[in-house]
Amino acid sequence: MDSFESLQNALRDAPGDPLSLAPRFLLRRASDDRPIGVVGYFNSYTALDTVDVWYAICLPEERGKGYGSEAVQLLADYVFSHRNVERVGATSDVENPASWKLLERLGFRREGTLRRALFHHGGWHDVAIYGLTREEWRTLRHPDRKSPREPAKS
Ligand SMILES: CC(C)(COP(=O)(O)OP(=O)(O)OC[C@H]1O[C@@H](n2cnc3c(N)ncnc32)[C@H](O)[C@@H]1OP(=O)(O)O)[C@@H](O)C(=O)NCCC(=O)NCCS
Number of domains into which the chain is organized: 1
Q: Are 152 and 96 in contact (CB under 8 A)?
A: no
pLDDT of residue 146: 67
By most ligand atoms within 8 Å of CB, the mutation choice from 65, 102, 110, 114 for ligand 1 is: 102
In a domain, 62, yes or no: yes
In a domain, 51, yes or no: yes
The CATH number covering residue 92 comes to 3.40.630.30
Low-confidence ranges of the chain (pLDDT < 70): 1, 15, 146-154
By most ligand atoms within 8 Å of CB, the mutation choice from 24, 29, 69, 75 for ligand 1 is: 69
Question: Does pTM surpass 0.85?
Answer: yes
- Give the Cα separation of 131 and 137 in Å (integer): 10
Q: What is the pLDDT of residues 16-30, one digit of tens each?
A: 788 888 899 999 999
Residue 37's domain comprises 4-141
- Among the listed residues 133, 85, 125, 93, the one whose alpha carbon sits nearest the alpha carbon of residue 109: 133
140 lines ligand 1 (CB under 6 A): no
- Among the listed residues 131, 134, 129, the one whose alpha carbon sits nearest the alpha carbon of residue 147: 134
Q: Are 89 and 57 in contact (CB under 8 A)?
A: no
In a domain, 149, yes or no: no
In a domain, 21, yes or no: yes
> How many angstroms separate the alpha carbon of residue 135 from the centre of ligand 1?
25
